[in-house]
Amino acid sequence: MAKNASPSYEQIFYLGGTGYSGIRNISAGYSVGQKSVKVLGAGFVRDVIAEPLRGELSMTRDLLYQDPVLDLTGEAPISGTLLYGVELNTPAYRTVEQVYGFNTGYLTNYSINCDVQDVPTIETTFAIFGQMGSGEREGELDYSGVAPLQNLGFVNHEAVFLTYNGSGTNRAVSVSQTYDINRVPIYTLDQKTSESYYAPSQVLTEYPIEITTNLTIEMDDYETANMIDNIRSGNYQTVGVEIRLGKREETLDGNATSGPNIVPASVELCLEDDAGECLGDDGAGITRYEFLSTTGHLVSESIESSVDGVLSVNLEFKDYYNKD
């Protein structure tokens, strides 16, 4: 029997039938909550399942254009599959592609992180209430579909533009935003089929969805809010992030100094897909992607200074999204 490892470059992850790009890592698993049953006069009898089954899948991805995962904050479930090629010496002496799949998954956490020291990333977590485990390609747990992988378009911190109150003179060095979606599985005591014996009858989404935005800025003329005044009247600000992507020349700073392919500074180029069309082109040759736009209540401010740094302030905003 062949004993082959599965390197990451041979793996493809599908969510809702679409192949995803830019994935840094994936982790998935489940745990079974057991409880021992003790009987008077007999001691330990056996162990039983003491709580509903629930799995979890988490992944970290580099930020790529319009992110399709953010649309999964609604009430519809999703299925996914990690396809990996492992050769198995089956009785029929054929090669079988393995998959790790799940169904009835709900997005519970979505977080965007932008920092000048790293490539912007997106972290997502799904709660799994259906089946979850290994299988074979085109088998019961294969939800891979045929959709192609999305184009790669990695974002540098120089393409991220953060706007907030005081952004003209105070330097933003990091921003993150997290969506927390509370899912409530509903279980019944009715007779169930063997296929969905442990699955909930319904999964509800508790509204409002809480949105937390954090940003760190180096202070110049920024003035923090007074704690007492914030409690009395509230302090609300609009925070937004825009990403502007343009095609770069093959140099470190993006500007070629000589050669036949020099593009004048007045000419804007866009990032293109396989068909040669601009991705998200706004008409000026720049791919624009706006996200994190929210009007939140300032709930936390903290300043920090050290001998090897500059004075900075960390701000936290809370906002809420209600179902239409």
The full set of domain ranges for the chain reads 8-31+45-246+286-321
pLDDT in tens, the chain (324 residues): 455 677 777 788 888 888 887 889 999 998 888 888 888 877 777 888 777 888 999 999 887 666 778 788 888 899 999 988 655 454 554 456 788 999 989 999 999 898 888 888 899 999 999 889 888 888 888 888 766 665 566 677 777 888 877 677 888 888 899 999 999 998 888 776 666 667 788 899 999 999 999 999 888 887 787 888 777 777 788 888 877 766 544 433 334 334 444 444 434 455 555 566 665 555 555 666 677 777 888 888 888 998 888 899 898 989 998 876
3-state secondary structure of 26: strand
Distance CA 207, CA 183 (A): 10
End-to-end Cα separation, the chain, in angstroms: 56
Instruction: Provide the 8-state DSSP code for 168.
Output: T
> How crowded is residue 82: how many other Cβ atoms within 10 Å of its Cβ?
22
Report the residue count for the chain. 324
Q: Please enumerate in sequence order all residues whose Cβ is within 8 A of that of 32, keeping only pairs 6 or more positions apart, or say none.
A: 49, 53
